[in-house]
């Protein structure tokens, strides 16, 4: 099970602190997840300044979770900042826009685009988009705020996606703690994202390692 730490902060100073903590347990080239919330698709806004990220010259690969309306407007700035993977929500795109985002990412190099959906978005809503993507995220909390409780029923979606795409990268994000890892694995996911459990711990490195070993 791959564990990716998540940055979900209100300001740059808080984000920088978490990035510095991550440097104590991640290696060069490991993935770091950034939540980009616009306060429209989500109830809250998060720090989401691509220029500030670029100026950090981080050694990590960056996964950008676009919890925003019009995700197409964010692609170029985050590619320029060094993003290696985008996560877009089915609720915010059309099939035409999905194809455009995938094409724009591919044109700029080996950049992955992953499809996500809100916890209560149905499989039937996802179905027309599935053939366009090879990577999927199961969001196990409502989009936006960090620190929410894991919604177990979302793992039914992970099971469906694993049956649909046996070789896909399937990521579960939101409320992930060691006690939920077993069920997440059983559902077929091979990546988890965790923010609050890791960074709100007194020892973020130990919390990260505990998730890896769960």
pLDDT tens string 155-184: 999 999 999 999 999 999 999 999 999 999
Percent composition of the chain: helix, strand, coil (DSSP 3-state, to 5) = 40, 20, 35
CATH of the domain at 118: 3.20.20.70
Helix axes 204-213, 12-22, angle to 10 degrees: 60
Q: How far is C-alpha 7 from the chain's CA centre?
A: 10
pTM of the model: 0.96
Rama region for 100: left / alpha / beta (φ>0; ψ in -120 to 50; rest): alpha
- Could you tell me the CA-to-CA distances from 131 to 37, 95, 115, 142 in Å, in that order? 26, 10, 11, 25
- pLDDT at position 179, please? 95
Write the burial class of residue 205 (CB in 10 Å: 0-12 exposed, 13-18 middle, 19+ buried). Answer: middle
- pLDDT at position 207, please? 97
Mean pLDDT for all residues in the chain: 95
User: How do beta strands 112-116 and 31-37 pair?
Assistant: unpaired
Would you call 21 a catalytic residue per the annotation? Answer: no
- pLDDT at position 108, please? 86
Domain count, the chain: 1
State mean pLDDT over 17-31.
Answer: 96
Exactly one of 11, 21, 30, 35 is catalytic; which is it?
35
- Could you tell me the CA-to-CA distances from 18 to 35, 37, 159, 169 in Å, in that order? 13, 17, 32, 25
Tokens of 134: 């090879």
Sign, Cα dihedral of 48, 54, 57, 62: positive
**Is the per-residue pLDDT at 110 higher than 80?**
no
What percent of the chain stands above pLDDT 90? Answer: 93
State mean pLDDT over 61-75.
Answer: 97
**Is the per-residue pLDDT at 194 higher than 90?**
yes
- pLDDT at position 145, please? 82
Residue recorded with tokens 């099939």: 95
Distance CA 44, CA 38 (A): 7
- Say whether 61 sits in a helix, a strand or coil: strand
**Is the per-residue pLDDT at 148 higher than 90?**
no
Distance CA 15, CA 132 (A): 32
Would you call 11 a catalytic residue per the annotation? Answer: no
The whole domain housing 154 covers 2-213
- pLDDT at position 144, please? 83
Of 67-81, 112-126, 134-148, 169-183, the poorest mean pLDDT is in: 134-148
Tokens of 107: 């044109």
Write the burial class of residue 186 (CB in 10 Å: 0-12 exposed, 13-18 middle, 19+ buried). Answer: exposed
Exactly one of 11, 21, 30, 173 is catalytic; which is it?
173
């Amino acid at each position: 099970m791959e564990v990716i730490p998540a940055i979900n902060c209100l300001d740059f100073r808080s984000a920088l602190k978490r990035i510095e903590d991550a440097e104590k347990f991640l290696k060069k080239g490991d993935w770091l997840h950034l939540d980009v919330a616009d306060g429209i698709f989500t109830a809250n806004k998060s720090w989401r300044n691509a220029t500030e990220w670029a100026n950090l010259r981080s050694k990590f690969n960056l996964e950008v979770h676009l919890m925003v309306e019009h995700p197409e407007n964010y692609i170029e700035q985050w590619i320029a900042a060094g993003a290696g993977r985008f996560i877009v929500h089915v609720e915010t795109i059309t099939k035409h826009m999905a194809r455009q985002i995938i094409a724009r990412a591919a044109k700029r190099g080996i950049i992955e685009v992953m499809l996500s959906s809100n916890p209560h978005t149905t499989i039937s809503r996802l179905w027309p988009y599935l053939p366009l993507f090879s990577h999927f995220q199961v969001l196990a909390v409502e989009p936006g705020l960090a620190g929410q409780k894991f919604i177990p029923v979302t793992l039914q979606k992970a099971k469906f996606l694993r049956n649909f795409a046996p070789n896909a990268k399937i990521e579960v994000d939101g409320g992930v703690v060691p006690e939920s890892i077993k069920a997440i694995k059983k559902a077929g996911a091979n990546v988890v994202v965790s923010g609050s459990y890791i960074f709100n711990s007194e020892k973020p490195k130990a919390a990260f390692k505990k998730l890896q070993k769960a």
